Every structure is written in structure tokens, then in C-alpha cells.
Amino acid sequence: MDTAAPVSELRIVLVGKSDDRKKKLCDFIQKNQSSRLQKQREVISGEWRGRPLTVVKAPDMFSLSEEAVIEEVKKCETLCSPGPNVLLLLVKPSDFTEENRRTLKFILSLFGPDAFKHSMVVMTEKKRGTQHTVNQLLQDCGGRLYNMSEDKHQLLMQKIENIVRENKETFLTFSEEPEHMKPALNLVLCGRRGAGKTSAAEAILGQTELHSVSSSSECVKHQGEVRGRQVSLLELPALYGKPQEEVMKESFRCISLCDPEGVHAFILVLPVGPLTDEDKGELETIQNSFSSRVNDFTMILFTVESDPAAPAVVDFKGKSRDIQELLQSCGGRSVVVNIKNKQQISEMLEAVDKMRHNKDSRCCYTTETFAHAQIEKIIKQEQSLQSLNSDLINLKTK
């Protein structure tokens, strides 16, 4: 049970297609509070555990024009002034289409860039389903979910209060300009065999049952939309221990699949724990193949199936000399992700964006970068051979 201090005020907007389901949810929220609540058309106001409560039932905006949607969002903000701190998104999985998802995304963009941080999906039917559209929405909402079939009032209200606390009691206001689509990202997932690259890809894209690279000796490309942007994930097979020719062929193929823009980040997937010899060998193979330039584009993705903020997880990064040296080699860029609830995915994408906008480094690793790296490698090898020849000549003349 959550023992944190109670939030000061709840201002909730219900967004969905069905007025009947929104009314049902309104009635459920006001459960056992009817004598203290006042209803005014689309608004219910009253108290919850001694704190002000406002619930706005937004109309069905899914069939309206953009101009009409904008006016309705303005009205919602006015009805719960100074602005909502929670958005409940009512979804019926069996008929939630891609068009519905995009419309909902546009509606939320009018509440500003942080709207999804204040949002939770509310399922209106028992079966969650496996539709990509629903999973994508859940991903955007950080995995926050309540199913009306649970019929647990206390649980719903706790989740609502948690959203307010997590956002430090900030609220949303109408944004004159909807959030624009962020530029697409090309990411390469690398790591040893069994590191969990496919699980990491599923967590990032919010998809399940992706084709695993372990069943293939070649790169596997996954694509999807994450936090309002297109993301291409190249899952690189383990390279350590393979013949040099095969390593170079697969490395070049990986970069080529990201043409013409190139790779924005290499994500090295590591389960939380001591580095194994295979981990070290894989990292060395990657650096030899792509050259030391790859360090400028590398981020470490530590995966756990528990709380990423747990003391044991935090201490592990600080106490391991191997991990410290690894982090130092890639500029300290890392993120710990719980691959089950995926709440740190947005943190990872923000870190990638910072890498892209770092003026001291190139914005992406391209086939041209790869070619230059190979040329530099050949030049160094020739210089080494020349040095050895000089040493041999000197030995013979003595």
C-alpha cells in the first residue's frame, strides 16, 4: 500500500469514444461519495479523502474536425482550471484502431508535450487483447493501466494519486501548437549471446514475439513507433568468436541497413551483474570492427526484472571496476531498464537525443564512417609492418 503523503488536489479528464463508459467510470470514481459530489453537465466536483476532486467527462472527439477538437480541449482545461493533472484514456481493445490511436495522440498533444506522463489507459472490457495499437498506447503511457473489470475503487484511486505524485503535482495546460513528430531513430542493439537483445527490442518497441537474432546469423531489423517517433532497431548477432571475414561482412550490413542517415546509437545490452569474459570479448570485437569511433555513439542498456532504483542495482554500477571502465569508454552514457514495465524507455530515448545534439561529436555513424575506420585500420597496419621491417633491417646490420 502506498504510504506517501496524499496529493493536494485531483483534476481528472476522461477521454474516450463511448459516453456510456465515461459515465460509468465517473460513477465509479464517485463511489460512496454521492452525497458530497455536485454534477454540472460534463463536470463532477467534490472531494476524495478530504481533498478537492474534479472529474471532466470530455465528449467523443474521435469524429470531430481538428478545429473542433482544439475547442473541446480548451473547454476541458477551463472546466478543471488551472488544468488537469490526470488524463484517463478509455479504450475498448477489440475496436481500437490505428486511426483511433493517432486521433488520441493528437488530442493529447494539445495538452502539451508531457501529456502522456499524466495519462493512464483504462480498459473498458475484460480481455486486453494483443493488438499492436493498444500495446503502443500503453507504451506511450509508461505501462500505466487499469481495467474496469477489476472493480477495485481503491486501486484505481491509488493509481491516479501516483500519477500526480510522479509528476510532482504539476498539471497540463492547452498547447497552441500540437507536438510535432520527432525525427526517426536508427538504433543498433549489440551484445553477447543470451544478453537479452530481443527482450530489450520488445521492451523498446512495445511489441511481443519479435523474431530473435539468436535464430539467425544475420542482422534482424525491427521497426515501430515509440513516444511519437519512428524507431528502427537493428539487432546485431553476437560477433565474438566468429571469423574476421564474417564479422566485417555483418558489421557493414548492419550499417548499410541504416542508410542513408546512419546509426544514431549503438545500444550495448548487458544484464545487471558482473561482466563475463564473453561480454568483454564482444565489446572488444565491436570496437575492433567499427573502430574506436563507435564509442562516441555507444550507450549501455543494463536490463533488470526488478526495480531499477533498488540499492543493489545502483551499487552494482558504482562498485564494479569493469563496469566503471566500460562506462568511461562511452562517456558515462547508460540507463537501467526494467524490461517488464519499460518505464525507463523514454529516459533512454532522451539520452540518445542528447547524443545527437552534442556539438562535439558527429550526429550518426554512417557507411562512410565505417569505410574511413577501415582505411585508418589499414594505414595503422601498414605503419606497424614498416616499423617491424625497420627493426629487422636494424638487427641485420648489427
What CATH number has the domain bearing residue 324? 3.40.50.300
Which cell is 254 given? 548492419
pLDDT for 144-187, tens place per residue? 999 998 888 889 999 999 999 999 889 999 876 655 556 778 99
If you search the block for the grid coordinates 488530442, which residue do you land on? 107
Residue 286 covered by a domain: yes
Residue 180 covered by a domain: no
In this model, does residue 3 exceed pLDDT 50?
Answer: no
3-state SS string for 27-42: HHHCCCCHHHCEEECC
One domain, residues 158 and 220: no
Q: What is the pTM of this model?
A: 0.55
Q: Is the dihedral of CA 222, 226, 230, 231 positive or negative?
A: negative
Confidence label for 76 from pLDDT (cuts 50, 70 and 90): very high
Q: Which of 37-46, 122-131, 298-307 has the highest average model confidence (pLDDT)? A: 298-307
One domain, residues 50 and 93: yes
pLDDT for 123-132, tens place per residue? 998 776 557 7
One domain, residues 150 and 229: no
Residue 362 covered by a domain: yes
- The pLDDT score that the predictor gives to residue 264 is 92
One domain, residues 162 and 199: no
Residue 358 covered by a domain: yes
User: Does residue 123 sit in helix, strand or coil?
Assistant: strand
Residue 148 covered by a domain: yes
Q: Identify the domain containing residue 144 by its residue range.
A: 10-166
One domain, residues 122 and 25: yes
Which cell is 52 given? 478537492
One domain, residues 119 and 205: no
Residue 89 covered by a domain: yes
One domain, residues 88 and 23: yes
- The pLDDT score that the predictor gives to residue 85 is 94
- The pLDDT score that the predictor gives to residue 319 is 77
Task: Tell me which of 166, 196, 218 is where a domain ends.
Answer: 166
One domain, residues 131 and 198: no
Which residue from 273, 247, 276 is spatially nearest to 370, judged by alpha carbons?
A: 247
- Are 116 and 108 a contacting pair, CB within 8 Å? yes
One domain, residues 227 and 161: no
One domain, residues 230 and 132: no
One domain, residues 118 and 258: no
pLDDT for 327-369, tens place per residue? 888 888 988 888 776 667 878 888 888 887 664 456 789 988 8
| Domain count across the chain | 2
Residue 1 covered by a domain: no
Q: Is the dihedral of CA 325, 304, 206, 347 positive or negative?
A: negative
In this model, does residue 20 exceed pLDDT 70?
Answer: yes
* CA 240 to centroid of chain Cα atoms: 28
pLDDT for 82-137, tens place per residue? 999 999 999 998 888 878 888 898 899 999 889 999 999 999 987 765 577 888 89
Mean pLDDT of all residues in 293-301: 91
- The pLDDT score that the predictor gives to residue 171 is 92
Which cell is 169 given? 503535482
One domain, residues 18 and 113: yes
- The pLDDT score that the predictor gives to residue 35 is 36
How much is the mean pLDDT over the chain?
Answer: 83
- The pLDDT score that the predictor gives to residue 33 is 52
Which cell is 67 given? 478545429
Residue 174 covered by a domain: no
